[in-house]
Structure 1
């Protein structure tokens, strides 16, 4: 037979209301009483009805994780989001809440899903796993005062939005500096996105590193259309590039394939450095030289900051910078 609040109260020799206050961690109950009642709950195998408890608080007891529009195969297969979800789930479990995912293959449908989750009170708040210019989802969350934490730096309202991030401009700078230290002077920045804040920040970091060394900067090598891939060998030849800073690991593998197709060997002819240190970095040779951004820490901190908002422990914007480190492997050589 399942133990009830009354059973716990009887054995602990307290009132049922005291047991309820212990369950809700009410400050009016002493630490000694809480410890004693909780031990009895454990001994009796009693588990609080979290759903019923949160109905009283008008809480959904769930967090929403909003993935970026999955409008490309790279995004759809990016392990970064699975790592992030795993960290969010683990941290949410510590708060005794669950997670739900909002995803779609375009921004309009994604916004509809988020609005539905919010208005139907399916979640108490959201973790937004991306940051883009003119993003309708982040605008909706902000305008409707929905609790949310952003993974990444906001495109605007930095002082008002709670976010956790790496220093992506510093990442771009240090990746480029690593190539410069290896003797490279003609370096390109390559990306398959051009509206994400992360693109601007890492490209600015690339520009900063090159300018500080009085080296030529180049327009970003953005691969958005099929014709961009066709022009790749012409761009390499025209710039005399010996190295690429690539937006992330998955696209770096695509660039290595493209270079190989056109007769460039990595790293002998073209060095490559990227970001994220995902599982793809060591799936095929040459292993990728990449910068680890600690996505698990981003997910953990993002969840903690969202719970602080939901529990009304924090009301102003805050930036948390997660450390990163370079992982040297096989795609960069000295010249």
Structure 2
């Protein structure tokens, strides 16, 4: 026999209206009661009628997750976004909320996708999984007053946009300091993006660490076009660099392949520190020394913050929300 709202209410010793409010995540119901009722719903294999629930609340009971424009192989294959999606989906499911993904090959198509989802009321709000300078998607969400949470620090309107983040400047600083502690004096910062906020923050952290140590800083080495890769050995030769701070794990593997192609061994000739501690960090030798940013916690907190907005609960922007840690592996050599 299929259980009903009344069956759940009787077993939980609450009224059927309370069960309905729990299903709709109403703010008038305490966290303890919600946990109690949801546990009983799970035990009884009770599933709310989604159509009836949506009509009653005038909501889609779905949140959208906006991935960055998938305009490169690194972005298309980056496991960070899969980890983030999994954390968001698991957190949303705990509130009986579904998730939908917005993705496209470029910003124009992505904006059209997001606009359609919003105008057709397919979702109640969005989680924007990236932060980029002059991003048309974040501008649209802000101007249209659409509930959204940003994963990363906003490029502007920091006081008005709700966001969750690591301290990316501190990440860049600590990665560079680790190399300095190992005896490296000529260190380069290498990236395949130059408009994302994490690029600016991590590069600023790199500069800060070197300046505080009285060591030379270098312009960021940005690999945006195929011809940029051909200048790699010349840059290494001109700077005398012995170590690289690289924007993320997947691009770090690309740079290690490039270094090997030009006769530089990692870590014997070039040491490498990257970010994210993704599955790629331990797929091939040498294993990457990298900084773990706790993607799961970013996704969980981002989802909770979005649901607070949708439910009109008090909320505020957050910075430096998730701690990080350096994972020492095989890509850094200590110099004498």
Residue 281 of structure 1 is matched in structure 2 by 281
Deviation at 1:90, TM superposition (A): 0.6
Distance in 1 (alpha carbons) for counterparts of 2:211 and 2:317: 32
Deviation at 1:319, TM superposition (A): 2.9
Do the aligned partners of 1:207 and 1:217 also contact (CA within 8 Å) in 2?
Answer: yes
Structure-2-length-normalised TM-score: 0.91
Paired residues for 1:292-307 under 5 Å: 292-307=292-307
Deviation at 1:315, TM superposition (A): 4.9
Distance 1:23 1:124, change over 3 A: closer
Do the aligned partners of 1:162 and 1:319 also contact (CA within 8 Å) in 2?
Answer: no
Deviation at 1:39, TM superposition (A): 9.0
Deviation track 1:65-106 (CA, whole Å, cap 9, x = no partner) reads 000000000000000000000100110011110100000000
Do the aligned partners of 2:167 and 2:319 also contact (CA within 8 Å) in 1?
Answer: no
**Larger Cα Rg: Structure 1 or Structure 2?**
1
Do the aligned partners of 1:159 and 1:318 also contact (CA within 8 Å) in 2?
Answer: no
Deviation track 1:179-210 (CA, whole Å, cap 9, x = no partner) reads 00000000000000000000000000000000
Deviation track 1:259-296 (CA, whole Å, cap 9, x = no partner) reads 11111111111101100000111111111100000001
Distance 1:183 1:144, change over 3 A: same
Paired residues for 1:2-151 under 5 Å: 2-5=2-5, 20=20, 46-151=46-151
Distance 1:246 1:48, change over 3 A: same
User: What are structure 1's unaligned runs of at least 5 residues?
Assistant: none
Residue 228 of structure 2 is matched in structure 1 by 228
Distance in 2 (alpha carbons) for counterparts of 1:36 and 1:192: 48
Residue 257 of structure 1 is matched in structure 2 by 257
Deviation track 1:274-324 (CA, whole Å, cap 9, x = no partner) reads 000001111111111000000011000000101111111125433352100
Do the aligned partners of 2:187 and 2:244 also contact (CA within 8 Å) in 1?
Answer: yes
Equivalent pairs counted in the alignment come to 335
Deviation at 1:135, TM superposition (A): 0.1
Worse-superposed segment, 33-42 or 108-117: 33-42
Deviation at 1:52, TM superposition (A): 1.0
Do the aligned partners of 2:26 and 2:311 also contact (CA within 8 Å) in 1?
Answer: no
User: What are structure 2's unaligned runs of at least 5 residues?
Assistant: none
Structure-1-length-normalised TM-score: 0.92
Deviation track 1:92-149 (CA, whole Å, cap 9, x = no partner) reads 0111101000000000000000000011111111000000000000000000110000
Distance in 2 (alpha carbons) for counterparts of 1:33 and 1:245: 48
Distance 1:88 1:214, change over 3 A: same
Do the aligned partners of 1:153 and 1:197 also contact (CA within 8 Å) in 2?
Answer: yes
Distance in 2 (alpha carbons) for counterparts of 1:15 and 1:250: 52
Deviation at 1:2, TM superposition (A): 3.1
Paired residues for 1:165-244 under 5 Å: 165-244=165-244
Do the aligned partners of 1:84 and 1:299 also contact (CA within 8 Å) in 2?
Answer: yes
Deviation at 1:25, TM superposition (A): 6.8
Deviation track 1:198-251 (CA, whole Å, cap 9, x = no partner) reads 000000000000000111100011011111111110100000000000000011
Describe the SS at the equivalent of 1:321.
coil
Residue 327 of structure 1 is matched in structure 2 by 327
Describe the SS at the equivalent of 2:290.
strand
Do the aligned partners of 1:161 and 1:318 also contact (CA within 8 Å) in 2?
Answer: no
Describe the SS at the equivalent of 2:312.
coil
2:314 corresponds to 1:310: no
Distance in 2 (alpha carbons) for counterparts of 1:249 and 1:100: 27
Distance in 1 (alpha carbons) for counterparts of 2:239 and 2:124: 51
Do the aligned partners of 1:163 and 1:319 also contact (CA within 8 Å) in 2?
Answer: yes
Distance 1:177 1:49, change over 3 A: same
